[in-house]
A and B are shown apart, each in its own frame.
Chain A
Amino acid sequence: MSRTTRVDGHIVVRTDQVPAEPARLVDDFTPALIDVGAHHLCPGCGEPVAMRATLEAVAELDVVRRTIGVFGIGCYTAFSNNLDVEVLQALHGRAPSVATGVKRARPDTIVFTIQGDGDMVNEGLQEVIHSAARGENVTCIMLNNGVFGETGGHMTATTVLGQRTKTSLEGRDPVAHGRPILLATLLAQLDGAAYVARGAVNNAGNVARTKKMLLQALRTQIAGAGFSFVEILTMCPTGWFVETQDAPAYLADNLAAVHTGGVLKDVLGDSDRQEGP
């Protein structure tokens, strides 16, 4: 009995019955720049999708042989020893200054950071602001799920009002907890920032738009035009305490309703204007 069936021309894997034969690898979708496809991240996590889009952008621009990724600390750190791209691991919050040191010492390299919202907005907010203000010629990427995922679902500076976390049990309250920081919106106001965009990975269209943003951010750096920034809204069903299959819609209804998507700034100006998620 075949495990797959065809629905509207798409191959669908059937999960409603016990398979007649053990699982076997039919295709390996691991991007070329990831060494091992396996990871420990939760089902439904958006970070591997964002990671894939980032690596595909690096590969498509043909800069793999001069790219250095600087990683922060979060769930996505699981990828820092698993890439076929040179990686420098930084502390929680500190990736933008470490990336600055790499780029200033080796201006011929392409340098990107990967950080979460807890890392970039809570622990190290001044680092990314100063790097943007300096017009530092690096690309900072923030995976924003509005929660400390790795510690198990605690409030961050981007958690939206009303969102329940382990440290905002009745929902984030503006009086008790303050209001979220909309980082991309903040950075777009700085003269040194040349490219600022906010994407999401909660559906295929948004993944495609986000990848275009990543490509344009890296092109900005390659052109030496200044600081580039892509915020990517990612699903965290575990940290949001929602069912895995509900997470993409939860992202759209909650996170993306406040952290609205789109290209906020693009000084190169030759990009296709993109719709936000």
Chain B
Amino acid sequence: MTARLMEGSEAIAEAMIAAGCRFFAGYPMTPFTEVLEHMARKLPAVGGVCMNAESEIEAVGMAWGAAATGTPAATGSTGQGLSLMQESLAEITLARLPLVVLNMARAQGDYYQATRGGGHGDYRHLVLAPGDVAEAVELVQRAFHLSVRWRNPVLVMGDYYLAHTARSVTVEPLDYGPRPHLDWALDGSTGGSGQAKLISFLGSAKQRHHVGYDLSDHYAACAADSATMVASVEPIAECLDTDDADVVVVAFGTPATYAKAAVRQLRADGARVGLVRPVTLYPFPTDVVAGAAEGARAVAVYENNQGQMVDDVRLAVLERAPVHFIGGLSLDGSGFGIAPDLDVSVLRHRIEQVLAR
């Protein structure tokens, strides 16, 4: 398979299809729109269904229904659209259904929404944040694997740059081993057997000897499964020059690419700086960040928001080193997340200020 020049949105669509996705529903919204466009063009060609839903609420509902049939399904939007979907996303998790959800975010203000649940109740989503188009191709496929493995939604957190930057990439199906047998999936065939299947966020135990649902049993079982998932999924992070770093920079997504360039420049000039880029935002690579902070004079966190991931960095670093926030909201007039601050010289200057403390 040869490489082809594709914008991130198209590469993500190709990767979803390579991962087996056969149902997609979405509602246009910048910068997510092109993912929907590419799915509308590509999915029918492989026998799949792409729905231009009437709202984000209906998009996630449609994806919910498709997922319940065992069809690899995905939906997505930008953070605002995901806000509309949160009630369903919370309950889909308690219904123990696999679903891949894309957030082509505006800036990075949706970190809390992604990693803290966003909706009501007690649940967890796995969150993957690619740094560039090539990594998105891999992580999107990993998201399908993880979601069906753990019967849990997986969020892929992108941004305006990822969606709209064209890169030469190869999309090949990645092998994550045999797909699990979906004995829970609905197709109607167990009706009338005395053992008809049920998929419900209230619990899937059929009523036999008592009336009603037992939510305490179900929520406890979900919490136990969630804890097993979080403990089992290996956090991923990219580390650059952290072994002897005086200052460790932490950033994720596209901004991490700019931070990495600034760190490389400073290294070339003899400054002892390093970088950690969390790839899994949930579970957060706490041990990697803690290890990098060990022996460092300071940790500097760049995010294009008021400071959200910095909380997780502080929880990881604890008393090992002071944690400085060197990010901040940086937007152009559109608010789509095109950031004037994403300039290597700007980031380099902010890292130098931390070095000089």
Q: If A78-B212, A97-B61, A126-B55 touch, does A85 touch B196 (CB 8 Å cutoff)?
A: yes
Bound CA span A99–B188, Å: 13
Given A87-B198, A89-B200: A68 and B186 interface contact (C-beta under 8 Å): yes
Partner of B61 from the list A64, A101, A108, A110 (CB cut-off 8 Å) is A101
Q: Quick check: A87 and B200 within 8 Å, CB to CB? A: yes
The answer to whether B198 and A68 touch across the interface, beta carbons within 8 angstroms, is: no
* A81–B205 CA distance with the chains assembled, in angstroms: 7
Q: Determine the residue in chain B with the shortest Cβ distance to A107.
A: B49
B181 within 8 A of A: no
Interface window among A31-39, A204-212, A237-245: A31-39
Asked if residues A104 and B66 are in contact (CB atoms below 8 Å), the reply is yes
Interface string of B229-263 (1 = CB under 8 A from A): 00000000000000000000000000000000000
- Docked Cα-Cα span, A33 to B194, in Å, equals 8
Once the chains bind, are A82 and B88 in contact (CB under 8 Å)? no
Cβ contact within 8 Å between A86 and B198: yes
Q: Closest Cβ of chain A: how far from B328's Cβ, in Å?
A: 37
Please list 5 pairs of residues, one from A and one from B, whose beta carbons are closer than 8 Å in the complex, sorted by A's number: A78-B212, A82-B207, A84-B191, A101-B67, A102-B69
Q: Which residues of A contact B88 (CB under 8 A)?
A: 91, 94
A65 proximity list for chain B (CB < 8 A): 188-189, 191-192
Chain B hits for A36, CB < 8 A:
207-209, 211
- Min Cβ gap B160→A in Å is 28
7 extra interchain contacts, Cβ-Cβ under 8 A, other than A89-B199, A94-B64, A104-B66?
A: A36-B208, A38-B211, A81-B203, A91-B87, A96-B61, A100-B62, A110-B188
With A89-B202, A100-B65, A126-B55 known to touch, is A66 a contact of B207 (CB < 8 Å)?
no
Task: Given A91-B87, A94-B57, A130-B58, answer yes or no on A99-B186 (Cβ-Cβ < 8 Å).
Answer: no
Q: Tell me the B75-103 residues at the A interface (CB within 8 Å).
A: 87-88, 91, 95
A40 at the interface (CB under 8 A from B): yes
Residues of B near any A CB (own CB < 8 A): 22-23, 25, 49, 51, 53-55, 57-59, 61-69, 71, 73, 87-88, 91, 95, 186-194, 196-209, 211-213
Contact with B along A152-176 (1 / 0, CB 8 A): 0000000000000000000000000
Please, which residue of chain A has its CB at the minimum distance from the CB of B200? Answer: A89
A53 contacts the other chain (CB 8 A)? no
Within the complex, the shortest CB–CB distance from A82 to chain B, in Å, comes to 4
Q: Tell me the bound Cα distance from A108 to B69 in angstroms.
A: 12
Measured in the bound complex, the distance between the Cα atoms of B201 and A126 in whole Å is 23
Contact A35 B208, beta carbon cutoff 8 Å: yes
Task: Check A222 for interface membership: any CB of B closer than 8 A.
Answer: no
**B199 nearest in chain A by CB position:** A88
Query: B62, A91: Cβ atoms under 8 Å?
Result: no
| Contacts known (A64-B192, A81-B202, A104-B23); A98 close to B197, Cβ less than 8 A | no
Residues on B with beta carbons closer than 8 Å to the beta carbon of A35: 194, 206-208
A83 to B57, CA, bound (A): 28
A223 close to B (CB within 8 Å): no
* Chain A minimum-CB-distance residue to B189: A65
One of B57, B62, B207 near A81 (C-beta < 8 A): B207
Name which residue of chain B comes closest to A40, CB basis.
B211
Closest A-chain residue to B202, C-beta based? A89
Which chain A residue lies CB-closest to B64?
A98
Indicate whether A101 sits within 8 Å of B25 (C-beta atoms), given known contacts A35-B207, A81-B213, A86-B188: yes
- Taking CB as reference atom, which chain B residue is nearest A73? B202
Q: A residues within 8 A CB of B189?
A: 65-66, 86
**C-alpha gap A128/B198 in the complex (Å):** 23
Complex: A96 Cα to B61 Cα, angstroms: 8
Q: Given A81-B206, A100-B61, are A66 and B187 also a contact pair (CB < 8 Å)?
A: yes
Report Cα–Cα, A126/B49, bound state, in Å.
Answer: 22
Give the residue among A39, A65, A67, A98 with the most B Cβ atoms within 10 A: A98
Instruction: Report chain A residues within 8 Å CB of B66.
Output: 101-102, 104-105
With both chains docked as a complex, state the minimum distance between the C-beta of B50 and any C-beta of chain A, in angstroms: 10
- Most chain B CB within 10 A, of A59, A90, A97, A104, is at A97
Query: Quick check: is A106 within 8 A (CB to CB) of the other chain?
Result: yes
Chain B CB within 8 A of A109 CB: yes
Least Cβ–Cβ distance between B123 and chain A, in angstroms: 14
**Chain A residues in 8 Å Cβ range of B187:** 66, 68, 86, 106, 108-109
Q: Which residue of the partner chain B has the closest CB to A94?
A: B61
Query: Which residues of B sit under 8 angstroms from A110, Cβ to Cβ?
Result: 188
Contacts of B58 in A (CB 8 A): 94, 97, 100, 126-127, 130
Of the candidates B68, B191, B209, the one having the most CB atoms from chain A within 10 angstroms of its own CB is B191
- Cβ A104 vs Cβ B62 within 8 A: yes
Contact B23–A101 (Cβ < 8 Å):
yes
Is A194 among interface residues, defined by CB-CB distance under 8 A? no
The winner among A36, A39, A102 for most chain B CB atoms within 10 A is A102
Indicate whether A214 reaches chain B with its CB closer than 8 angstroms: no
A102 and B65 form a contact (CB under 8 A) = yes
The chain B residue sitting closest to A99, CB to CB, is B65
A202 close to chain B: CB less than 8 A: no
Tell me, yes or no, whether A70 is within 8 Å of chain B by CB. Answer: yes
Within the complex, the shortest CB–CB distance from B59 to chain A, in Å, comes to 8
